[in-house]
Chain A
Amino acid sequence: MHALLDWIVLVACGWLLIGLIGIAFSRQFLLITRLLFPFGAALGLLLAALALSALVAGPQVRILPLGLPDLPFHLRLDALSGFFLFLLGAAGAGISIYAAGYFRRGEGTTPGQQCLRYHVFLASMAFVMLADDGYAFMVAWETMALSSFFLVTSEHRHAEIRRAGYLYLLVAHIGAVGILLSFGVMAGSAGDYTFDAMREFSTLGIWPTIAFLLALFGFGAKAGLLPLHIWLPEAHPAAPSPVSAMMSGVMLKTAIYGLLRVSFDLLHAQLWWWGVLLLLIGLASALFGVIFAAVQTDMKRLLAYSSIENIGLIFVGLGLALIFKSFLAPNLAALALTATLYHCLNHAFFKSLLFLATGSVLHATGERNLGKLGGLIHRMPWVAWLALVGALASAGLPPFNGFVSEWLLLQSFLFTSGLPQGYLNMLLPVVAGAVALIAALAGFAMVKFYGIIFLGQPREEKLAQAHDAGRLERIGLLWLAAGCILLGVLPNVVIALLDPVTRLLVSGGLGAVASSHGWWLLAPISEDRASYSPAIFLCSIALFMPLVYFAVRRYYHGRMKRVAPWDCGFPLQTSRMQDSAEGFGQPIRRIFAPFLRRTREHPSPFDTEPRYHSRVEDPFWYWLYLPLTRLVERGTRIIAFLQQGRIAIYLLYSFVTLLTLLVLTRG
Chain B
Amino acid sequence: MNFYALFAQLLELAVALVLAPILNGWINQCRAWLQNRSAPPLLQTYYTLSKLFHKDVLLAHNASTLFRAAPYIIFSCMALSCAIVPTLSTDLIFSPAADAIALVGLFALARVFIALAGMDVGTSFGSLGSRREMLIGFLAEPALLMVFFTTSLISQSTSLSTIVETLAHREFAIYPSLAFAGVAFTMVSLAENARVPIDNPATHLELTMIHEAMILEYSGRHLALIEWASCLKLFAYSCIGIALFFPFGIPEAAQPAALALAAIILILKLTVGGFLLALIETLSAKMRIFRAPEFLGTAFLLAVLAMLVHLLLEAGQ
Contacts and interface: CB of A to CB of B under 8 A. Distances in A.
B62 A565 contact: yes
B56 A388 contact: no
Given A450-B116, A456-B120, A564-B61, A414 B152 contact: yes
A451 B115 contact: yes
A529 B58 contact: no
Interface residues of A, number: 83
A601 to B, nearest CB: 22
B216 A566 contact: yes
A655 B81 CA distance: 82
A455 B122 contact: yes
Contacts of B24: none
Given A403-B105, A565-B217, A417 B96 contact: no
A545 B115 contact: no
Of A378, A411, A414, chain B has the most CB atoms within 10 Å of the CB of A414
Interface in A313-349: none
Given A429-B149, A451-B130, A578-B127, A548 B141 contact: no
A413 to B, nearest CB: 8
A552 B145 CA distance: 34
Contact of B109 (A397, A433, A436): A397
B157 A575 contact: no
Given A395-B112, A451-B115, A536-B94, A443 B137 contact: yes
Contacts of A562: 59-61
B48 interface: no
B249 interface: no
A575 to B, nearest CB: 6
A229 B62 CA distance: 40
B208 to A, nearest CB: 14
A573 B80 contact: no
Contact of A544 (B54, B59, B79): B79
Of A439, A533, A577, A587, chain B has the most CB atoms within 10 Å of the CB of A587
A591 B157 contact: no
B76 A541 contact: yes
Contacts of B111: 443
A436 B153 contact: no
B153 to A, nearest CB: 7
A565 B112 contact: no
Main DSSP-derived SS at the B contact region: helix
Contacts of A411: 101, 158
A430 interface: yes
Given A440-B138, A545-B72, A565 B61 contact: yes
Interface stretch (B37-45, B265-273, B277-285, B304-312): B304-312
Contacts of B65: 377
B158 to A, nearest CB: 4
B64 interface: yes
A563 B59 contact: yes
B145 A433 contact: yes
A14 B132 CA distance: 52
Contacts of B220: 559-560
Interface stretch (A92-100, A104-112, A354-362, A520-528): A520-528
Given A429-B153, A440-B138, 20 more contacts: A396-B108, A398-B98, A411-B101, A417-B315, A430-B308, A447-B112, A455-B64, A455-B119, A456-B119, A521-B97, A528-B157, A529-B157, A529-B162, A531-B159, A532-B98, A533-B97, A541-B76, A565-B121, A579-B124, A583-B127
27 contacts: A375-B62, A397-B108, A398-B98, A398-B102, A425-B311, A429-B153, A433-B146, A436-B145, A436-B146, A437-B141, A440-B108, A455-B120, A456-B121, A529-B157, A530-B159, A531-B96, A533-B97, A533-B98, A537-B106, A552-B221, A552-B225, A556-B221, A559-B56, A566-B217, A567-B123, A573-B124, A587-B290
Interface of B: 53-54, 56-62, 64-66, 69, 72-73, 75-77, 79-80, 83, 94, 96-99, 101-102, 105-106, 108-109, 111-112, 115-116, 119-128, 130-132, 134-135, 137-139, 141-142, 145-146, 149, 152-153, 156-159, 162, 206, 216-217, 220-221, 225, 290, 293, 300, 303-304, 307-308, 311-312, 315
Interface of A: 374-375, 377-378, 388, 392, 395-398, 403, 407, 410-411, 414-415, 417, 425-426, 429-430, 432-434, 436-437, 439-441, 443-444, 446-448, 450-452, 455-457, 517, 521, 523, 527-533, 536-537, 540-541, 544-545, 548-549, 552, 555-557, 559-568, 573, 575, 577-579, 583-584, 586-587, 590-591
